[in-house]
Homo-oligomer: A and B are copies of this chain.
Amino acid sequence: MEIKQIKNIIEAALLAAGEPVTIKRLQSIFAEQELTHNDIAKAIEQLVHDFEDRGIELIEVASGFRLQTKTILQPWISKLWEEKPKKYSRALLETIALIAYRQPVTRGEIEDVRGVAVSSYIIRTLMDRDWIRVLGYRDVPGKPAMFGTTKEFLDYFNMKSLQELPTLAEIKDIETIMPELDFGVDTNKHNNDSGKNKPENSNNAFQKQFNQDKNNEEE
């Protein structure tokens, strides 16, 4: 049996097994050809060399030989499992909004305002994203954590401080304050009015955000 053929079979076997394979087990594949331990070892040695130029490498671990993707390719490989981001739920948006405006705020207080329980998943997601942090623990029974927003939260939304969040009064007439926004009402009207109703501080974070959005839409 040619060495080329032996190498091909070993390569296929290692990739088919999906787990480390010992030389002994490889030998059993070639039972009819009666290959020695040494024959297999030699073929493996050559294969290691063959793979130098390729995307995978042959290495020996405790339980045998295996083929694995090269570590230097990991930046690309890991993208295989990147998940398309899902939009955040309404519940999450309301939670972050309440934390931003009412900080320091406990989970119980958020639940009081929203009228429903805040899932641990939402808190964990916001914590993982570094948008909220525990500011301390309130000295009441249960010692609930008080949440507040982080610098990362401000950075993400291009704000220097929480002061740049729209005031409650502004929120009440958000449609007129931020005419660039299409709230699904009469877009033509808003566009016509935009010059008049444009807020004074048009160069603020929101404006930036909106301009950015507009650009994105044009793409």
For window 59-99 of chain A, which residues contact chain B by CB distance below 8 Å? 67, 69-70, 73, 76-77, 79-80, 82
Q: A16-B69, A56-B15 are known contacts. Are A28 and B82 too (CB-CB below 8 A)?
A: yes
Given the complex of chains A and B, what is the CA–CA distance between A25 and B8 in angstroms?
A: 28
Cβ of A31 and Cβ of B79 under 8 Å apart?
A: yes
Integer count of this chain's copies in the complex = 2
Additional 10 contacts, C-beta under 8 A, given A8-B53, A16-B69, A31-B79: A9-B76, A11-B55, A13-B69, A13-B76, A15-B56, A15-B69, A21-B80, A25-B80, A29-B76, A29-B80
Provide the A1-34 mask, 1 if CB < 8 A to any CB of B, else 0.
Answer: 0001001111111011110010001001111000
Q: A7-B55, A55-B7 are known contacts. Are A12 and B79 too (CB-CB below 8 A)?
A: no
Q: How large is the interface on A (under 10, 10 to 19, 20 to 34, 35 or more residues)?
A: 20 to 34
Q: Which residues of B contact A11 (CB under 8 A)?
A: 54-56
Quote the shortest CB–CB distance from A64 to chain B (angstroms): 12
Q: Would you list 9 pairs from A and B whose C-beta atoms are within 8 A, ordered by A residue? A: A8-B73, A10-B55, A12-B56, A12-B69, A12-B70, A15-B67, A15-B69, A25-B80, A31-B79
Given the complex of chains A and B, what is the CA–CA distance between A154 and B28 in angstroms?
A: 30
Cβ of B73 and Cβ of A12 under 8 Å apart?
A: yes
